[in-house]
Structure formats: structure tokens, C-alpha cells
Structure 1
Amino acid sequence: MNRIVLCLALLSLSSASARAASEADLLPVDQAYPISIDAVRTDSVRIRWGIADGYYLYKHRTAIESDNPEVTLEPLQLPAGKPYRDEFFGDVETYRKELVTTVRFSAPDGTGHLLLRLQYQGCADIGICYPPQNKRLRIPLTTTDTDGMAVLGLDAADDSTLREQDAFRVEAIVGDAGSLLLKLTPAEGYYLYRDKIAFSTSQDAIAELGKAKLPEAVWYPDPEFGTVPVYFEPAEIVLPLQRKRTKAGTLQLTVNYQGCKENGICYPPMKKTLTLGLPAGSTVSDAGAVDTKAPAMLLQWLPALLLALLGGLILNLMPCVLPVLSFKAMALAKANTPGHARSHALWYTSGVMSSFAALGIGVLALRSAGQAMGWGFQLQQPIIVGGLALLMFGIGLMMSGLFNWGSGFAGMGQSLTEKSGPTGDFFTGVLAVVVASPCTAPFMGSALAFAFTAHWLLALSVFLALGLGLALPFLLIGFLPGLAGRLPKPGAWMDTLKHWLAYPMYLTAVWLAWVFGNQKGVDGLALLLLAATMLAAALWWFERQKLNPNLRAKAIVLALGVLAAASFGAALQQAQPGATISTQGKNYEAFSPQRLAELRAQGTPVFVDMTADWCITCKVNEKAVLHTDAFTQLLREAGTVYLVGDWTNQDPAISAYLDQYDTPGVPLYVVYPNGPGEGKKLPQLLTLDIMRDALVP
């Protein structure tokens, strides 16, 4: 049983590492599911996904929306798929070989382009799934023949065709000693191929080029190469540098690119060489390990370690962690020798540190593989949320005295509350990390932002510093007899305390069940509550049958356990009800990149709030500030539009927005002025005075 409980607590960590370890076995997603446009008419477009052998697409994860405000799409009619029993989604339909669908639309006369947002997700037969895909598709609606088919062919060059230096501008500036900022701008009516953009420099240059960070492209049915990603708008690119020499000097950068005129000629491959002056900076060794002696890196790394240590220390005060720490408080109070207290502290710390290391490795591996994972990502999985709710409920029942499993908790061989041994101490550390993940303490944001962008060795050290901060109070009590001596002596009061400490467990279970309900709907919540009821009955009968053990009594316990597992499985199969943020609330609108861009173009001040149901800090800010009448009045006075993004479930658009502000998770609060200018990032803990200063000039 101890292995089952431990696996439940670490399920998200182990599954994340397994997916990242097998990334090399997958085709690139655009090769697994190439997109093409089969036909375009004045009122419809036929879209085809090719599906490679050994891969499939989910029907229920496929959707198409219009990005043209003036274009209306008819409800999407997808063909029937092949029935399939999926381990994550239950009974679904899938597509193999190809998926072809016709999108019907109505557009005003003179509409030049159809802009579609394609959403889809698929998996490989080897058992690995891609993250949800979100691509923009631009389809020209030009002239039509007598059959109504849109003409996508190329015309011959005419006098209006621009020279290549006028059609495509290439600019670059030095961002800092370790990066370049480039801007490739096609003229109106021209586009650049994303996959034809490349950068190079000479072997003896003072810096090597890292992997360029390209912005999102739009997919376009190009007559030359098929449906490919292109840029019609300026492409702003960050190009990291790995310095070979610390002294200032010049860098010769060659930019390769190719583009076309829409419905016109395509230019041959082009290149432009730029000479850039780089300031002095730190170096990277040939092996790729960061030179931590470099002053510039130390100035970022050492403060990040300190902030992580302080953030981990403050996590001990967070409401999501306090219930678990009640275990350790009772165990240390019972420690009758210094050696016993040190053992408690060391095994608990080893559980915390190993879990933070696993969490850090999992998140960093997934991010390096291109998936946007952040702090608390595992609570975006309903199986983790529901499993933790049942686990917390079961712990509460044990502390209330409903049952006593062996000599302690969950058959671990030692009691977590009475005679806790190494296994129990280690598990308590693991559980503390799992329930701490939705909490973001002060100082943690900056430390995690550094970790998610730094070299993996430095990043891992930040995660370990967080773990050390979380474990530090118990380490101090275990190794400083003076502190341990201040703890109350064991006595009858501990049984009463144990019963009282069950209630924080129940409250944590209620909160997790509420999050699960937002992920799986009211039907899913009802089934989870049914599973909790069956679990309570099974545990009660398990304790009762100890008085008269027999085969019938054990069969009843097994049957109740099976019913609990079946109810939980049924809850997981409930369809996701969609985002919990509605189109419009009391004082907010739902966030989307398009809506933000529209408001910014109009010069309207905007306040963006990225939140999640499992984020404790977010809910505190909403209750105290953001959902109050005083804040609503402040929004009216400032003429500010309030946009809310919900990250309870994985959302690529929100993940990309978080990355834009180097934020590892929610909450994130950003205020945009009434006019051009960058957004201002606000603290994670808000007050009405902070919001007034930010919104009112």
C-alpha cells in the first residue's frame, strides 16, 4: 500500500520524466500531421491533415475557429472517427491516415483573406502524446473561376513588384552581451518563409550562435512549398549568444531568408551580412557548462539561490502546506532522544529535496522539449487533483480515528503520527512538496523565472534551494537541542491535537475537490464525492473487520474499494466543461491574445490577470482585491479593461504569455498603459493601493 500512495503523490513527476525521455522517438509534430488546403471556394475551404503511420488524431480535441471578426463559420462537421478506448480521455474517436473536413463560412464582399485558428492533438502508438497544437492558417480569397474555386496561382512579375531590399527589411541590435534582437519585416502583401530563416557567423567569431527564438507564424497555402509557416507581419527574433571571448568586439552576422509576393513572384534565397558591436561579457566553455565564476552570472545566480531559500522557508506558512506539516510537528514533539529528532529531520529533508529535484528535472526537461510547463503544472491534470483530494480525505479520516492501518498510516511499517520511521518521514517530505506546488510564496517568482531560463545545472540548484528552505525549520529543530527542548512534551493532549489537525486535511480535500469540479464539471465532482464516500466506507469496514476477521468481511472491504476506484475512474472520464473564465464576468472579460492586441491598438488601458483555480495566492487576491466593488469602481475611473486568463487546465496561449514575462506560473498581473509601451508586471500579492497606483497615473 505504501508504494501505491507514494506513486499517487509522484505520478505527475514520473510521467513527465518518462515523456521527456522518449521525445527523440517522435516525429516533429508538423511531420506527423502535415496540413494542406485541398480546395478554396467563395463559401468554403477544405482542410486536410495528413497522419503519419503509427500516429493518430483525437476527434474531440479538433476544432477550428475564425480569427476574422467579420467572418462567420458554420458549426464544424467532422467525419466519424474510429472508436477507441483511451487511457486519458476514455471512450473517444480517432483518425488515422488522414482527416479531411470542409469549413463553411460567410464573409463580406471584398474580404481578402480567411484567418482560421486550428486546434488539434494527437498521439503515437508507442504511447506518447503531443501537447495540444494551436496554429493560425491564412487562406487568400482572391479571384474565382466560373466554378467558384479560388485562384491560388502565381502571376508574372509586374512593375509593382518591389526590389528585394525594399520587399524585405532586415535589422538587428545588440540586446546585451549575450543576445541579439533581430527584426525581419516584409512589405505589405509580401511574406517570409519561417523555415528559410537561418543565421550564421564565422568559426573565429567572438561568439557562437544559440537557437533562435522565433515568434508564432501563420500557416499559408504556398504554391511552391505547400502549406508552410510564413510571416506577413514583422518577425521579432531573439538570438542567444555563447561568448568565446570576454572582451568587447564586433560580430559579423549573416542572415539567410526567402520570401514571396502574395499571388506574385517568389524571390530566390537571399542573405544579408550585418556588423554588430558586442560589449564585454562572460564566456561559455566548450563543454557547454556555464562558467559560474563569471561575475555577470554570479550576480544573477547567487541572488536567485537566496530568494529560492527564502521562498521555500515562507512556503511553510502557506495554507496548502500547513496540513502536512502537522505530521512533523507531532513527530518531533514525540522524539525522546536527540538522535531520534535528527533522524526525523534528515529523512523528511531527503524526501523534500529528492522531490524538488524530480520536479525540477521534469519541468526543465519538458520545457527544453518545447512544452510550456511551469510551477504547479501537475495540478492541471485531473487525475492528480482528484487523487490528492482522496488522499487528503483518507489522511483526515485516519487522524479522526475512523481507522488505524497496522501500527500507523497506510501500511508503511511505521506510524506517521505515533512512531514515524524513515519511510514515513520521507513520504511526508514528498507529500509536502506535492501540495506545496500550487502555492507561490514571496521571493519564489524571481527565483523560478531565473531557473526556467538558466543552464540546467544552475536551474536545478535553485529547485534544491527551494527544498532546503521548505525543510529548514525541521532541520534546525532536529539539530539544535535548545529549539527541540522548547517543543511541548508528549501527553494526552496529542490525541486531541491529532483530531483537530484532521480538519485542515478535510478543508484541503474540499479545495482540491472544487478544483476537480472546475476541471470535470458537476458530474465529475459528484462521482469524486461518491468515490470519497466509498473510500470512507471501505476504511471503516476495514477497521471493523479487525475484531472478527473473516473472508466475508474482507470481501466487503475489497468490494467497497473497487466501487471507490470505479467511481474515481468514471469521474476522470467526464468531459472537460471548458474554461472556468466566462466570456464576461462581473468586472472582467476572458483573456485572448487577439482581444489584448485589439485593445492595445485602440489605446485602451488593460489589466491582465493570469490565474488558476488551484492557485491559492490567486484566490486570496481575488477575494481581497480583484473581485471587490472598490476595484470595480477603480477600473471605471481609470477606464481600464480587465482581462482574465484561466490556467487551471493547460492553455498554450496563456503558457506563451507567461513565458513572455519570464514567469514560471500563476499568478501573473500586468498593466498596460493607454498608448504604446511595455506592460508593467505587478507583485504577486496585491492590495487596493498597489492597484490604484498602477492604474491611476
Structure 2
Amino acid sequence: MRNYFMGKYKFRALKLGIVNKLILSTLFGISFNIAINGSSLAEESTSAPLKQLDSLISSFGLGAESDEPLHPDKAFVFSHDEPTHKDGVDSIEMQWQIADKHYLYRNKFKFILKEAKNLAVGEAEKPPGEMKEDQFFGTLEVYHGDQTITLPFIRESSEAASGTLYVVYQGCAERGICYPPINKKIKLNLPAVSNANGSNNSVANSTTVDVTTSDTAPLAEQDQIAASLNSGNTLLTLISFFGFGLLLAFTPCVFPMIPILSGIIVGQGRDITTRKAFTMSLVYVLAMALTYTFAGVLAGLFGENLQAAFQNPWILGSFSLVFVLLSLSMFGFYELQMPASIQGKLTTASNRQQGGSLTGVAIMGLLSALIVGPCVAAPLAGALIYIGQTGDALLGGMALFALSMGMGAPLLLIGTSAGKLLPKAGGWMDTVKAFFGVMLLAVAIWMLERIIPAAASMLLWAALLIIPAIYMGAIDSLPQDATGWKKLWKGVGLFILIYGIMLMVGVASGSKDPLQPLKGIGGGGVATAQNEGLVFQQIKGIDGLEAALADAGSRDQPVFLDFYADWCISCKEFEALTFSDPAVQRALSGVKLIQADVTANDDIDQALMKKLGIFGPPALLFFDRSGVEVKAARLVQFMDADKFAEHVQGAVK
């Protein structure tokens, strides 16, 4: 932070009998950096400019007659009481005696806790100030006279707590002197208490330093779910999580598993029976559920997101290739195009991948859980929070398993139905296999979208639509005796063909959204710019977040933090459907927008997520003007534009 200390001194020159007023204006440019690195704090830097000014005046021999400014410690006399524990809450009272014709800025107070043990800072209770038109910072709220601020502390347990509290504040004098930020250090040693209400006041270890969280507001949805696990009714908890899983079953993070499982079953051809289809579906769902449970328990206990670790370009590319090979077998490509020697090997490998053995089906279910759907929804986040806070991996794991089985129940039903309803032979069977072959190609493209440019993915979607449309007869003439079904088939093919061509035109016009391929054509520059979405400042790691919060605090701005990753499907939904909405952009117009891109999921990204208690994207956090997170406003799942705009208004009011 760069602050400018301006001093205006009047003195009367008495030499040679000349009675004139001489105004000496001294401008000191001082680069002031609050360096807080554990054991020392450079408090002397606050008074250094004044000492330089004193030396300059003394060199003129006029020190005795100069109208010197007050030293910061005299202009703003700081004192504090010892921390107290009352009604289950620890707090400290700090007092300021502000000299006449001086004032402190209300929004410049910072309370930073370092070397914390079993302790975090809450939201400071600051009295209202007076509005002032300041020549340096514009219209701001300021304090005059005597002021008291109470700062509550939050313990994680009833054990003794300690830390070093740094109190930062800044003020000015009415005559035009603006002091640099003043900082004080308070050593905190809080004894153990008999009842610290730890369950109500707990804060994750990751949020005990500069980035703080206020728990005085209502709990966010995922925290309410975590709290519900403490209800003591295990059966009700498991039923509830099974219901949550049913609700998640048709979200973009789970829906792609439907064509995968259906393709495995259809790939068995005429040999499939209802019983075999049910067995294969059950094995697939159980493998998926157990993988979710195991990965979730690890994430809750150790903060490691295995699904995020599997969003590697090589892994995604390899898995996409598997689906391409599966789809080619659906089209009969191996039998028609390959030499017999190669055909036999490919068919054998394909059958294994399609689930010819239950082991192959289980492996596909395991990989689908890790690679296909790496999203974090509120119920999943709630279970992970509970495991992380309590260490109860048994109940948390049971809840995750129930959640996963709820997600898999529709898959089980669809897979079994596929075995019952599919035709056993003939042209219809070939058509159904071709349909699921196209669906498997769609899954492959859907996965590649996470690692390839938007234009390339749109071209792949265009090819996937245009080529099947041609096979459907979109460009062929209908015979005069064509049946209604053939006319319908051609109509569907023609529609798909047109949309595929629109995608290609969209790529040429610069569009990046497959759902709005012609958005880049027409509409005017203003509309196009408005629909581009929000413009975020990119941050990296804990240091980047703290710097952004400090900058926003100096501007008296709330902060919106978006955790994003290229492989996060819900993040893409937010980007395309929510952040591009004008109502959302208006709601966030006065908010500092920052984004943490955790696509790489490296050590720096993981440290930031662990600090904030984030298990993976999507995660949307709001911080108030003092840099404290509004915990109740945290989101970990998709929300449409209308609801999000309303949510923002409540979060930043």
C-alpha cells in the first residue's frame, strides 16, 4: 500500500527584520508496507516521516516556534483490555482516544490473527461513524472522540488458546495530514474454559488466519446438511441422503453415466437377458457407489479430492478413446472394416470393456465415478464437512454410500429395462446399437471439452450431428410411398443436420457456446459485450486471495470468489447460463470479482482449498467489506440466474 504523508507547516522568518509569512510545504512519498511475519512488526515506520520532518525544521533553527503535528500515538491513543470469557464467548475490547481535529477511518480497521492455536477471529463489533467528505478518499465513515471496538474470538475446543493479534488502523488530521497505517501487536493467551461451545463456534483450521469466516449468520445449505448428521437418527439420515442422491441422478455430473451403462448392455447384443442386464447394472452401480464413498471419506479426512486428481488431460484423453472404441464396435466397424486377425483381438477387448465379464463392468463403474462426474454438490459437501470436523468416517461413509446408491438407482432401473425392452435381432437392433454408439461418442466429446479449446469441441459436436443426420436420410429424397415413420425419421435428421451446420457457422463467427452457436452474429456490440459474462481478476493461492481481499478492503468493496476448473461441469454452467445474465451482472456491479482457477490442482491450489474448507469446484464464496467470509452465502452447486441474482443481493447487502 502506498500512502502519502503531507505536512503543511507555517513559520515566521525573523532574520534581518523581515516580517513576511513563508509557507514551507513538505511532501514525503513513503512506501509503507505492513510486514507481518511472525515475531516482529515495524511500528517505528509510522513515526519515521515525522522525525524526518522534525530534522528538516530544526535545520532552519525554527523548531521551537513550529506548529508540529501530533505524533500518531498521541493523535490516536490506543489501549485494550485483557481478553474476557463471558456467556461462552471470548472477546477483547479495544479503545481509541482520538485527538481534537483528528479522525479515524471506519473501513480501515483490520484485525489479523497470526500464530493462532485453537483460535480464530470473529466479526468485529464496530460502532457507527459519521459521514465525512475526505480530500484523500472521498465520502467515508469516520470516527471522532473516544471509540470502543469489541472483537470476538472463536475457539475450536475448550482447551487453552493463543495467538498474536495485529490491529491496523489509519486516520488523518483536519488540517490536511494523512497518517500512514498504524499497527499494534497484542499477544493473546486464553486459558482453558469449562464450556467453549466448540460445536457451535468451530471454524476449520484452514480459516483461522487472515481469511476469516463469520459463523454468526445462518448456516449454508451444505453446513446444515453436515449438522443434520449429528441428529443421532442414523436411519433417517441414510434415507435423506438416498433421497439427495435421487435428486442428483439427472444432473450434468451424473447423467452421462446413463449412455455408458446402456451402451455396455446394448453391446451384449442378442445374448442379453433381463437377469444379466440387472446383474451388470447392479455391479456397475455398486462399483460407482463404493468408489464415491472411498474417495469421499479420503477427501473428508485428508482434504484430498481423488476425482480432481483424475482430471488429467492424459487420463481424460485415454478414457475418451475407450468410448470411441466402444462406439465403433456398436457401428459394426470391427466386423466390416478390419482384417479377421485384428478384428478378433479388437472384438475381444471391446467385449471386456463393454462388460462381458463382471470385472470389466466394475472397472467401468469405478472409472466413471472418478472421471466422469467430479462435481461437488451440497449433500456431498455436507458429508465431507461432517467427516472432516468429527473424524467419524463410519457414519459419513454410510451417508456417502446412501447418496451414491440414490444416484445409481435410476441407472439400475434403466439398465435393467434396456435388457428387457431391447429387440433381440433384426434391423431395429442395429439401429439401437448405432444410437448408443452415437451416445458414447457424445460422452467422449463431453469429456474432451474439459481439456480442448471451445472451438474444437464445437466442431466435434457439429461432426457428431451432421454425419448421423446424413445416415438418417436428411439429404436423401423420400420415395412417394414413404411411411409416416420414414418422414419423421428424415425430419429429425434434417433438424439435426441444420443444427450441426449452425455449430460450424458459430465457430467461424467466434461463438464458444454450443447452445447459442449464432450468438456472435448480429445483436450489436453492446449486447455481445454484455453477454460475454463477468470479468474476474485471476488469483493464485492463499497469498493471491489475501492480497485481493486487502485491495478490496482499501476500496470498501465486498468480494465474490469463484472457484473454477476446466473439468468442472457446473462451473461451465455458471459461466454460460448464470454469469452472462444482465440481472446477475447488475447485482455484482459494486463487488470485486476474483476467480481461483484450480484446473491444475497443484499444491498451491490444494492449500487454498484446504484453507477455506473447499473440497473442489464449483464453490462460490462471498466476503464482506472487512474481508470476512459470509459463510451462509457459500454455494457449492449450480444455481440459475434469477435465484443467483437474488442470492447475491442478500450476500453483499
Q: TM-score scaled to structure 2, two decimals? A: 0.51
Kindly provide the CA deviation profile for residues 454-498 of structure 1, in whole angstroms up to 9, marking residues without a partner as x: 41112222332233223323544678xx99645554543333333
Q: Residue 318 of structure 2 aligns to which amino acid in structure 1? A: G
Q: Secondary structure at the match of 1:598?
A: helix
The question of 1:588 aligning with 2:551 is answered no
Q: Distance in 1 between matches of 2:81 and 2:533?
A: 46
Kindly provide the CA deviation profile for residues 159-179 of structure 1, in whole angstroms up to 9, marking residues without a partner as x: x9xxxx96785455788xxxx
Partners of 1:313 and 1:470 within 8 A in 2: yes
Kindly provide the CA deviation profile for residues 278-325 of structure 1, in whole angstroms up to 9, marking residues without a partner as x: 5999xxxxxxxxxx9974575994466335532553358845434423
Kindly provide the CA deviation profile for residues 248-296 of structure 1, in whole angstroms up to 9, marking residues without a partner as x: xxx7x5445689999x999999664545475999xxxxxxxxxx99745
Q: Secondary structure at the match of 1:608?
A: strand
2:630 maps to which residue?
678
1:466 maps to which residue?
403
Q: Distance in 2 between matches of 1:677 and 1:655?
A: 19
Structure with bigger gyration radius: 2
1:495 maps to which residue?
430
The question of 1:427 aligning with 2:363 is answered yes
Partners of 1:606 and 1:640 within 8 A in 2: yes
Percentage of identical aligned residues: 18
CA displacement at 1:652 relative to structure 2: 6.6
Kindly provide the CA deviation profile for residues 11-63 of structure 1, in whole angstroms up to 9, marking residues without a partner as x: xxxxxxxxxxxxxxxxxxxxxxxxxxxxxxxxxxxxxxxxxxxxxxxxxxxxx
Q: Distance in 2 between matches of 1:406 and 1:173?
A: 79
CA displacement at 1:623 relative to structure 2: 1.4
Q: Residue 423 of structure 1 aligns to which amino acid in structure 2? A: T
Once superposed, what is the RMSD of the aligned Cα atoms? 5.6
Partners of 1:414 and 1:420 within 8 A in 2: yes
Q: Distance in 2 between matches of 1:672 and 1:111?
A: 27
Q: Secondary structure at the match of 1:588?
A: coil
Q: Which of 422, 437, 441 is the equivalent residue of 1:506?
A: 441
CA displacement at 1:388 relative to structure 2: 2.9
Q: Secondary structure at the match of 1:516?
A: coil
Q: Distance in 1 between matches of 2:40 and 2:256?
A: 46
Counterparts of 1:52-131 in structure 2 under 5 Å?
A: 68=1, 110-113=30-33, 115=35
1:377 maps to which residue?
308
The question of 1:692 aligning with 2:645 is answered yes
Counterparts of 1:396-435 in structure 2 under 5 Å?
A: 396-403=327-334, 411=348, 414-417=351-354, 420-435=356-371
CA displacement at 1:377 relative to structure 2: 1.5
Kindly provide the CA deviation profile for residues 559-591 of structure 1, in whole angstroms up to 9, marking residues without a partner as x: xxxxxxxxxxxxxxxxxxxxxxxxxx8532225
Q: Secondary structure at the match of 1:325?
A: helix
Q: Distance in 1 between matches of 2:235 and 2:275?
A: 39
Q: Relative to 1, partners in 2 of residues 1:294 and 1:393: Cα closer, same or farther, differing over 3 Å?
A: closer
Paired residue total? 433
Kindly provide the CA deviation profile for residues 140-162 of structure 1, in whole angstroms up to 9, marking residues without a partner as x: 5968xxxxxxxxxxxxxxxx9xx
Q: Secondary structure at the match of 1:314?
A: coil
CA displacement at 1:398 relative to structure 2: 3.9
The question of 1:625 aligning with 2:578 is answered yes
1:321 maps to which residue?
257
Q: Which of 667, 675, 679 is the equivalent residue of 2:618?
A: 667
Counterparts of 1:553-572 in structure 2 under 5 Å?
A: none
Q: Distance in 1 between matches of 2:598 and 2:436?
A: 31
Q: Distance in 1 between matches of 2:165 and 2:559?
A: 35
Q: Distance in 2 between matches of 1:486 and 1:302?
A: 32
- More displaced 10-residue stretch of structure 1: 307-316 or 340-349: 307-316
Q: Relative to 1, partners in 2 of residues 1:517 and 1:138: Cα closer, same or farther, differing over 3 Å?
A: farther
Counterparts of 1:381-400 in structure 2 under 5 Å?
A: 381-400=312-331
Partners of 2:307 and 2:371 within 8 A in 1: no
Q: Relative to 1, partners in 2 of residues 1:269 and 1:142: Cα closer, same or farther, differing over 3 Å?
A: closer
Partners of 2:618 and 2:636 within 8 A in 1: no
Partners of 1:307 and 1:446 within 8 A in 2: no
Partners of 1:332 and 1:344 within 8 A in 2: no
Q: Residue 493 of structure 1 aligns to which amino acid in structure 2? A: W
The question of 1:649 aligning with 2:600 is answered yes
Q: Residue 327 of structure 1 aligns to which amino acid in structure 2? A: G
Counterparts of 1:162-311 in structure 2 under 5 Å?
A: 169-171=82-84, 194=115, 212=118, 239-241=155-157, 253-255=159-161, 272=191, 274=193, 276=195, 295-296=231-232, 298=234, 301-302=237-238, 305-311=241-247
Q: Secondary structure at the match of 2:260?
A: helix
Q: Distance in 1 between matches of 2:573 and 2:323?
A: 22
Q: Distance in 2 between matches of 1:189 and 1:634?
A: 26
Q: Distance in 1 between matches of 2:110 and 2:230?
A: 47
Partners of 1:254 and 1:272 within 8 A in 2: yes
Partners of 1:450 and 1:459 within 8 A in 2: yes
Q: Which of 295, 316, 328 is the equivalent residue of 1:359?
A: 295
1:552 maps to which residue?
none
Q: Residue 359 of structure 2 aligns to which amino acid in structure 1? A: T
Q: Distance in 1 between matches of 2:229 and 2:594?
A: 43
Q: Relative to 1, partners in 2 of residues 1:450 and 1:166: Cα closer, same or farther, differing over 3 Å?
A: same
CA displacement at 1:415 relative to structure 2: 4.6
Q: Secondary structure at the match of 1:644?
A: strand
Partners of 1:305 and 1:462 within 8 A in 2: yes
Q: Residue 645 of structure 2 aligns to which amino acid in structure 1? A: R
The question of 1:438 aligning with 2:391 is answered no
Q: Residue 620 of structure 1 aligns to which amino acid in structure 2? A: E
Q: Distance in 1 between matches of 2:199 and 2:623?
A: 33
Partners of 1:611 and 1:644 within 8 A in 2: yes
Partners of 1:379 and 1:614 within 8 A in 2: no
Give the number of the structure with larger relative contact order, counting CA–CA contacts within 8 Å between residues 6 or more apart: 2
Q: Distance in 1 between matches of 2:283 and 2:265?
A: 14
Q: Distance in 1 between matches of 2:328 and 2:86?
A: 62
CA displacement at 1:335 relative to structure 2: 5.9
CA displacement at 1:617 relative to structure 2: 1.8
Q: Distance in 2 between matches of 1:624 and 1:664?
A: 23
Q: TM-score scaled to structure 1, two decimals? A: 0.48
Q: Relative to 1, partners in 2 of residues 1:183 and 1:329: Cα closer, same or farther, differing over 3 Å?
A: farther
CA displacement at 1:681 relative to structure 2: 3.0
Which ranges of structure 1 fall in alignment gaps of 5 or more residues? 1-67, 72-107, 117-134, 144-159, 199-211, 216-233, 242-250, 282-291, 368-372, 530-584
Q: Distance in 1 between matches of 2:432 and 2:185?
A: 77
Q: Distance in 2 between matches of 1:448 and 1:190?
A: 30
Q: Residue 385 of structure 1 aligns to which amino acid in structure 2? A: L
Partners of 2:380 and 2:400 within 8 A in 1: no
Q: Secondary structure at the match of 2:616?
A: coil
Q: Secondary structure at the match of 1:666?
A: coil
Q: Distance in 1 between matches of 2:577 and 2:587?
A: 14
Q: Secondary structure at the match of 2:594?
A: strand
1:346 maps to which residue?
282
1:616 maps to which residue?
569
Partners of 2:244 and 2:403 within 8 A in 1: yes
1:456 maps to which residue?
393
Q: Relative to 1, partners in 2 of residues 1:410 and 1:257: Cα closer, same or farther, differing over 3 Å?
A: farther
Partners of 1:610 and 1:668 within 8 A in 2: yes
Q: Secondary structure at the match of 1:609?
A: strand
CA displacement at 1:620 relative to structure 2: 2.0
Q: Residue 665 of structure 1 aligns to which amino acid in structure 2? A: G
1:244 maps to which residue?
none
Partners of 1:375 and 1:664 within 8 A in 2: no
Partners of 1:438 and 1:615 within 8 A in 2: yes
Partners of 2:263 and 2:437 within 8 A in 1: no
Q: Residue 570 of structure 2 aligns to which amino acid in structure 1? A: T
